[in-house]
Structure 1
Amino acid sequence: MAGTIWIPGAERLKPSAPGGTITSNAPPRVVWHTTEADPGTSSVWAAMIRVLTNKSAEPQILYDPLTDRLGQFLPLNVGGRALRNDGSTMTNRVGKVCIQVEVIGRAAKPFTGYWKPGKNFRAMMTAIRSWGIKDSWPAGPPPRFVASPPHNVPESPRSRTIWLNRGGHYGHSHIPGNDHGDPGAISVTALFAASGAPPKELFTVGQYENLMQQIKNEGAATRQEVRRQAIWALRYGVQTEDERAQANRAFDDAIDAGKSLKEALAAAARVLQPIADDLERAARKNG
């Protein structure tokens, strides 16, 4: 599937070198970063361009969440340079496209809490979707980042299996071979709401039923994987450890009571729905 190469309305930014050739057949994906600088001024915008080009660490896209300013270093169909390789794996080139977005902001202060997305943000998301990238987070929502001492909550497993085989949205905090914690606990509900499309569930009910059989066959390890990939993504508004724990308990209680996986997910959804509703209202107010 071919999509948009140059985003309409984006400023053309000069990279330090051309992007890498994509040879991967893995599903398309996008990776979100933060620059660890405060947004909203032309001076910071110019400084971030200098920093990224001086390090030869350009993404395809640079975005300011306060001014809705959008720039593009590289075509979307070539590899960026903002990820560290994972051993012999050229991480920047995994996926039919691997679109990287550097948001001017700080991981410890998620940009979706104060941003002002506009037409340029929507144009960017339209271009991302044009490549068949789904509104999903295969590794779960990005974890919360704690600046001192620097760590993520919860710590990300940075699964190679998920990264190499699943398309969708990722944080830098999810990528194997990398140790950065950005973009922090951005609200993925707000992210998709501001782009004009509602959040979507990660799996179909039929796929959930197949996972139920795996739980019966393999036990706790598979149940943990279902939690991480499915329950946490069932409602994208899950942001804290306490909220995740409540959903996990509801899920486990239903499974242990002999309920179907569909019923267990419904029990988790009842816990998460008020959280999602609150975030969706905030996203509409801010968008």
Structure 2
Amino acid sequence: MPDLWMPGATRYPNSDTGTMDGGPPRAVWHITSNSNDWTFKNELGYFTGGGRGVAPHLLWDPFTGQIAQFFPADSRALALRNAGSVRTNRTGRYCIQIETVFTAGETVNGRRYATVRDTPCKNLSLIVAWLRSLGIPDRWPGGAPTGFARDTVSLDTWTTQAGHYGHNQTPGNDHVDPGPMPNLFAAGTYTEEDDVSLTTTQATQLAELHRALVPYMGWQYKGKGETRDTYSYLRDTSADVRALAAKLDAQGKTISQLVQTVATLAAGLGDLDPAAIVTELKASIEAIDIRLDVPDAQ
């Protein structure tokens, strides 16, 4: 049995409940479109006061993540008009109606937002997870809303196909909300827009893990007994190698001059073989073991 009250939502029960007519489960998305007051507090006061007669199931603020619930899932809500004899509020086993606290073009913290899709969508994943638990599939029978315009589906689609609908798609209604929506079906798992609350124990454990791992992260790593981090070690080693290369180049030139000088001297002495002397000298030079004195990494 699924939860009829959404986990995490604050309950404000509306006593005017009603039974459903049955059929495929669905969700209907609305926006509040209030040019006078864009706050969750204002809309909550409306739906628990003078607006009780048009209340949805859920009221959701995509900026703060606040969620209120007025009806259990197995009750009809009151936010739709009927389509003739079709009682749209009661269509389906569930017909979950979500009012998003949003007005097209509103400004929040200095930024203007044109659509719900542009908002942080905090806690959207919690709503989608609950809708899935009610058996509402990840699909828009009429296609995802693309603008603030009517796009009414047929009565046959409305009564026979489960999934998500916009208020602008519901037969018998004239509203054009919710406008372009975020990708609901990518929201069933955690996203970076969601707020995650940690317990004190979890926060402490995370901090301890961070302190333990930081010393081994990339350029900041220092081996046991080392005073330099990885970047400093490689930088200094690179400088040492360049200096040694310069010394070896200079020594190579000196050795070449020495070989030439020995060959010249040998040529002036009658009993010595200059070629043999040069060969022996080169062999002795090549046998020299040159080592780079770099401390072992710890």
Query: Which category of TM-score, normalised to the shorter sequence, fits these structures?
Result: 0.5 to 0.7
| Pairing 1:72–2:69 present | yes
1:193 alignment partner in structure 2:
186
- Is contact 1:143-1:156 (8 Å) kept? no
CA distance in structure 1 between the partners assigned to 2:133 and 2:121 by the alignment: 23
1:54 alignment partner in structure 2:
50
Q: CA deviation at 1:178?
A: 0.1
CA distance in structure 2 between the partners assigned to 1:183 and 1:165 by the alignment: 22
Structure 1's 90 and 195: CA in aligned 2 closer, same or farther, altered over 3 A?
A: same
Output one character per residue of 1:76-135: Cα deviation in whole Å (capped at 9) or x when no partner: 1110000011112111000000000000002563212122423xx332222111111111
1:229 alignment partner in structure 2:
none
Structure 1's 65 and 40: CA in aligned 2 closer, same or farther, altered over 3 A?
A: farther
> Which stretches of structure 1, 4 residues or more, deviate above 3 A after TM superposition?
37-41, 284-287
CA distance in structure 2 between the partners assigned to 1:64 and 1:72 by the alignment: 12
- Is contact 1:38-1:105 (8 Å) kept? no
The aligned runs of 1:1-287 (5 Å cut-off) are 2-15=1-14, 17-24=15-22, 26-37=23-34, 44-52=39-47, 53-55=49-51, 56-107=53-104, 109-118=114-123, 121-145=124-148, 152=149, 155-187=150-182, 189=183, 191-196=184-189, 286=193
Output one character per residue of 1:22-77: Cα deviation in whole Å (capped at 9) or x when no partner: 132x1000000000137997xx2232123334131011111000000011001011
The one-letter code sitting in structure 2 at the alignment partner of 1:105 is F
Structure 1's 40 and 285: CA in aligned 2 closer, same or farther, altered over 3 A?
A: farther
Q: CA deviation at 1:194?
A: 2.5
Give the root-mean-square deviation of aligned CA atoms.
Answer: 2.3
CA distance in structure 1 between the partners assigned to 2:121 and 2:142 by the alignment: 26
Structure 1's 123 and 39: CA in aligned 2 closer, same or farther, altered over 3 A?
A: farther
CA distance in structure 2 between the partners assigned to 1:192 and 1:180 by the alignment: 24
Give the structure-2-normalised TM-score: 0.57
- Is contact 1:107-1:182 (8 Å) kept? no
CA distance in structure 2 between the partners assigned to 1:107 and 1:183 by the alignment: 9
CA distance in structure 2 between the partners assigned to 1:61 and 1:157 by the alignment: 23
State which drifts further: 168-177 or 45-54. 45-54
The one-letter code sitting in structure 2 at the alignment partner of 1:111 is V
Residue 180 of structure 2 aligns to a residue whose secondary structure is coil
The one-letter code sitting in structure 2 at the alignment partner of 1:163 is W
Structure 1's 107 and 177: CA in aligned 2 closer, same or farther, altered over 3 A?
A: farther
Residue 54 of structure 2 aligns to a residue whose secondary structure is coil
Q: How many residues align?
A: 184
Output one character per residue of 1:177-214: Cα deviation in whole Å (capped at 9) or x when no partner: 00001100113x2x2223329xxxxxxxxxxxxxxxxx
State which drifts further: 170-179 or 158-167. 158-167
The percentage of aligned residue pairs carrying the same residue is 36
Output one character per residue of 1:155-191: Cα deviation in whole Å (capped at 9) or x when no partner: 413321111110000000000000001100113x2x2
CA distance in structure 1 between the partners assigned to 2:94 and 2:104 by the alignment: 24
Structure 2 spans left out of the alignment, 5+ residues:
106-113, 195-298
Output one character per residue of 1:242-280: Cα deviation in whole Å (capped at 9) or x when no partner: xxxxxxxxxxxxxxxxxxxxxxxxxxxxxxxxxxxxxxx
The one-letter code sitting in structure 1 at the alignment partner of 2:164 is H
- Is contact 1:31-1:171 (8 Å) kept? yes
Structure 1's 5 and 39: CA in aligned 2 closer, same or farther, altered over 3 A?
A: farther
Residue 47 of structure 1 aligns to a residue whose secondary structure is helix
Structure 1's 285 and 14: CA in aligned 2 closer, same or farther, altered over 3 A?
A: closer
Rg larger in structure: 2
The one-letter code sitting in structure 2 at the alignment partner of 1:3 is P
Structure 1's 54 and 39: CA in aligned 2 closer, same or farther, altered over 3 A?
A: closer
